[in-house]
Amino acid sequence: MDLTRTKALPIRHGKPKVLKMLLALALLLPAGFGIPAQTSYAAGISKPFPQQVDYPGMIKPSHVTQNAMNKSVSDYYDYWKATYLKHDLSSLPGGYYVKGDITGDPEGFKALGSSEGQGYGMIITVLMAGHDPNAQNIYNGLFKTARAYKSSGNPHLMGWVVADSPKAQGHFGSATDGDLDIAYSLILAHQQWGSDGAVNYLDEARTMINDGIKVSYVTTNNRLNLGDWDAKDALNTRPSDWMLSHFRAFYEVTGDAGWIQVIDNLYSVYDQFTAAYSPTTGLVSDFVVGNPPKPAPEWYLDEFKETNQYYYNASRFPLRVVMDYAFYGDPRGKAAADKITGWIKTKANGSPANIKNGYNLKGTAIGDYATAVFVAPFISAGTADSANQAWINAGWDWMKNKREDYFSDTYNLLNLLFITGNWWVPEGQAEQPIINLALNKPAVSSSIEGSGFEADKAFDGNLMSRWASNEGSDPEWIYVDLGSVQSISGVTLKWEAAYAKQYKIQVSTDSSGTPVQWTDVNSTTDGNGGVDEIDFSPHNARYVRMLGSERGTPYGYSLYEFEVYGTSSP
């Protein structure tokens, strides 16, 4: 079973007036993430611009050369940097910020920027290192500001407003999207420059993810709330925060499979929402509330009237969802991108210039002009299918020279980086790398739910696949053949929602090819799902089995991954 704005409205966040040991291996990236040969590398930079990655299954503009696209991006960055990147804070010398208007109450301060802009700027700066020789200094200055302007609710997060006053530092609550981008940028920064300098980017990322984002934003129902002022059981969420590929990077650096559960749940929320409210368009509203999910009402949280429509928050979603397909190959990301693209191409009669700045969920325009924060994500979504080549070419021509305001220009630049392959994928950075002896080894199970849920899916290193047994039966089991006798001392079970309440871990050294004699090495009677990391005294084993005797749900047993750890052959 599968449990599975007006013309100058640039930013939407306001504090509402109402108010673990890492054992996981990194996810395997799809084949084809080769980096082109570089004639030279700037000192200390591992991925200098341009990287010009060709994402598997994706297309780029075909009527211009890669060099021309790179030049357009670097020119746009130079313009963006000169226009919006500032370091004039008298209250924080050396602190950089991205200057942009806000909506919401600045509570007596003169707002200069936001955590949202800070996150965007930090991602952009990392990706442009190599073109910009000062990129790391700028990045560190942006990070300095993010840390100084900590949230009033959780000090591991950033307050949503930047203002030139020491009293603004620690005064404001947070906004989810800014912190997600900031934490993700720290992972990129570690990949780009390493973490042995003035800032330990990887440690900062892990702390922010584990002690900030996970603690304050991930709800008990595996959604994302709106800020650290929001409830942990909240059912309100903002689709512009559904940064699915970010969450895979969070998983890779923390080993916390809970991030995969968040991804799965958000895809489920999207499917439920669109089936009920936008089956033709695939659009989502600026805010989604309730269970089952539905559009928020107008004027939700006093933000603006169109909070129930596809407006200046939701306009960012197509980029976020297509990135999950481009970077990690999730077909759900492609399905969403294809539906949205199919609708908007028809609606705009094949011309990106005809896109409007707002639609209701059925696809009727509520806006009256084209702006990049709407156009650019629709073009990015189209890169998931070669049938959209003319659309991508026309969109590129529209985007590359568009100059508007902070919000549109900044999001336009992020899309330009993605479309040209200059937004690269950070590699996994798990601490204490330990060999998963079961990875890609033969497996056998007592049953399978159906095609696509075979035993080997629990040993493929891919948290987008899983083994599932028949529903409603006990006992059930799954075992792996390590190929030879190994000394093992632990397993990690990454359960899907259908988990075992009572189970045993057993080992066998039978040489017959079909193990008969099993030895218990661990027994659990109070399993509650999630990730079970089980250590035991070293045992020799060729076969390792999970024997489930009592289900924790009415369904069956289901594992995303069954990992086996040890040190050497006996």
Residue 235 has pLDDT above 60, yes or no: yes
Residue 436 has pLDDT above 70, yes or no: yes
Residue 42 in any domain: the answer is no
Residues 49-98 have pLDDT tens digits of 999 999 999 999 999 999 999 999 999 999 999 999 999 999 999 999 99
Q: At what angle do helices 406-419 and 317-328 cross, to 10 degrees?
A: 20
Residues 129-151 have pLDDT tens digits of 999 999 999 999 999 999 999 99
Rounded Cα–Cα distance for residues 125 and 365 (Å):
35
What mean pLDDT comes out for the span 291-307? Answer: 95
Domain check: are 218 and 153 in the same one?
yes
Domain check: are 455 and 408 in the same one?
no
Of the ranges 10-24, 187-201, 430-444, 480-494, the best mean pLDDT one: 187-201
What mean pLDDT comes out for the span 283-307? Answer: 96
Domain of residue 279, residue span: 66-419
Domain check: are 113 and 232 in the same one?
yes
**Coil, strand or helix at 522:** strand
Tokens of 437: 């002896």
Domain check: are 312 and 271 in the same one?
yes
Domain check: are 390 and 490 in the same one?
no
Q: Tell which of 403, 419, 435 closes a domain.
A: 419
Domain check: are 353 and 455 in the same one?
no
Residue 46 in any domain: the answer is no
Residue 357 in any domain: the answer is yes
Domain check: are 213 and 328 in the same one?
yes
Domain check: are 316 and 212 in the same one?
yes
Residue 211 in any domain: the answer is yes
The pTM score is 0.75
Please give the full DSSP string across 205-264, using - where no structure is assigned.
Answer: HHHIIIIIIHHHTB-TTS-B-SSTTS-TT---B-GGG--HHHHHHHHHHH--THHHHHHH
Q: Which residue out of 2, 54, 101, 177 is catalytically annotated?
A: 177
Per-residue pLDDT at 350: 97
Please give the full DSSP string across 23-88, using - where no structure is assigned.
Answer: -PPPPPPPTT------S---TT-SSPSP-----TT----SSS-HHHHHHHHHHHHHHHHHHHEE--
Residue 365 has pLDDT above 60, yes or no: yes
Per-residue pLDDT at 515: 87
Number of structural domains the chain divides into: 2
Residue 243 in any domain: the answer is yes
Domain check: are 97 and 191 in the same one?
yes
The CATH number of the domain holding residue 408 is: 1.50.10.10
Rounded Cα–Cα distance for residues 183 and 203 (Å):
10
The CATH number of the domain holding residue 477 is: 2.60.120.260
Domain check: are 526 and 476 in the same one?
yes
Residue 302 in any domain: the answer is yes
Domain check: are 327 and 220 in the same one?
yes
Domain check: are 161 and 276 in the same one?
yes
Q: Tell which of 419, 451, 466 closes a domain.
A: 419
Specify whether 177 is catalytic: yes
